[in-house]
Amino acid sequence: MENIVESIKETLKLIPILKSSYNVKRNTDEDDPILFVGVAETNMIEQLRPVVEEYFGPPYKPAGTGSFWMNLFDSFVKSVGKIRKDQTLFKKDISPNIRLFCAFWPWGSEPVKTSIRIGIMFDSEAEEEELKKKIQNFFR
């Protein structure tokens, strides 16, 4: 279990980098302890992507590619709330039952802004409860 915690912690070192180097502002309206939601200027996303790739690898679903079939049949995509063609989704497998994700979600109402969501998905509620307390501060 400690290896899993360390792997999560190492990946989430991305959050302070986004805040300090790319002026990503945390959205304080989001109160989920295992989800970081930040807001970036859309024109910064091309500069952010290679940094995110260092921690997550290449996009699982890049912006500009179709997502119809993924939204219907991909359980991971469905678990993050589905994804649109203009959105980017990264996935990092931490264990067979635990995945971190990072998503770029451009704002439809204000195209100069993009939300950056970094969260974790569990297949098992027992694992989620066990890890949640250990990792929740990593998302701040």
Q: What is the pLDDT of residues 27-61, one digit of tens each?
A: 888 888 899 999 999 999 999 999 999 999 999 99
71: left (phi over 0), alpha (psi -120 to 50) or beta: alpha
Q: Give the Cα separation of 56 and 66 in Å (integer).
A: 21
- Specify the number of domains making up the chain: 1
> Which own/partner contact pairs does 12-17 have at CB distance under 8 Å and 24+ positions apart?
12/36, 12/100, 12/118, 12/135, 12/138, 12/139, 13/55, 14/51, 14/52, 14/54, 14/55, 14/56, 14/102, 14/118, 15/118, 15/138, 15/139, 15/140, 17/51
Domain boundaries, position 43: 2-139
For 4, 32, 72, 129, the CA distances from 8, given in Å and listed in that order, are: 6, 17, 28, 15
Q: Give the Cα separation of 36 and 12 in Å (integer).
A: 10
Specify the pLDDT at position 2. 84
State if pTM tops 0.85. Answer: yes
pLDDT over 90, % of the chain: 79
**Average confidence score pLDDT of the chain:** 93
